[in-house]
């Protein structure tokens, strides 16, 4: 008679057979190494979530190292499934988040910003759009903990202007209250 193997599916990941688990499922090397910031944004996120470290499955935590070139930006983005707690290790960052769609239609979205220095800690609440910008003339880096083993990330400009197929010009011109040429220009930056 054939044996039946049952898999437990938790938070989007299948739990590994306990007999197949090894110490390497709980180990990730290399966060001491800076990420390559030679890109248009001048930043690099090195994630350590359940995709890189299987031992995080079901634990509800993950982390990242973020490196910034001088004037590098981790652009406006959101984590739909996690709050982020960031600690500056090196450099000076201008960071912020914006509230989203207040219940009272007379209240506008509010931007919260702060300049951070080594040792400073800042919290980005779950689901809110946030950013970090290196305002210093030297490299910067941070570590951040996230309250999910798979926090997800949506980079706002990439999603809105870089979709395939493109979001309709009619939709974007009305949403952003600019002319079609501006939208076409922005979309071209992400193709």
d(CA 68, CA 90): 10
**Is 158 assigned to a binding site?**
no
Q: From the centroid of its chain, how far is CA 26?
A: 22
**62-68 β-sheet, strand order:** 43-48, 62-68, 140-146, 84-90, 121-124
Predicted confidence pLDDT, tens digits, the chain (191 residues): 555 556 666 666 777 888 899 999 999 999 999 999 999 999 999 999 999 999 999 899 999 999 999 999 999 999 999 999 999 999 999 999 999 988 998 999 999 999 999 999 999 999 999 999 999 999 999 999 999 999 999 999 999 999 999 999 999 999 999 999 999 999 999 98
**Is 139 assigned to a binding site?**
no
Report pLDDT digits (tens) over 8-23. 666 667 778 888 999 9
Q: What is the pTM of this model?
A: 0.91
The helix (run of H) or strand (run of E) holding residue 172 is helix 169-176
d(CA 151, CA 77): 12
Beta-ladder partners of 131: 96
The reply to whether omega before 165 is within 30° of 0 (cis) is: yes
**Is 84 assigned to a binding site?**
yes
Helix 180-188 and helix 169-176, axial crossing angle in degrees, nearest 10 = 110
Report pLDDT digits (tens) over 55-90. 999 899 999 999 999 999 999 999 999 999 999 999
């Amino acid at each position: 008679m054939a044996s039946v193997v049952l898999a437990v599916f938790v938070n989007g990941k299948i739990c590994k057979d306990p007999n197949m688990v090894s110490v390497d499922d709980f180990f990730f090397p290399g966060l001491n190494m800076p990420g390559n910031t030679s890109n248009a944004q001048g930043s690099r996120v090195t994630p350590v979530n359940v995709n890189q470290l299987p031992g995080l499955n079901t634990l509800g935590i993950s982390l990242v190292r973020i490196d910034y070139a001088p004037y590098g930006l981790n652009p406006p983005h959101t984590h739909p499934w996690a709050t982020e707690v960031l600690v500056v290790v090196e450099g000076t960052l201008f960071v912020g988040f914006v509230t989203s769609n207040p219940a009272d239609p007379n209240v506008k979205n509010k931007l919260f910003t702060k300049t951070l220095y080594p040792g400073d800690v800042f919290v980005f609440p779950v689901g809110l759009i946030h950013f970090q910008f290196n305002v210093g003339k030297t490299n910067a880096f941070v570590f951040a903990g996230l309250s999910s083993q798979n926090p997800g990330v949506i980079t706002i400009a990439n999603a809105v202007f870089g979709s395939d197929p493109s979001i309709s010009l009619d939709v974007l011109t009305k949403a952003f209250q600019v002319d079609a040429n501006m939208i076409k220009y922005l979309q071209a930056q992400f193709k």
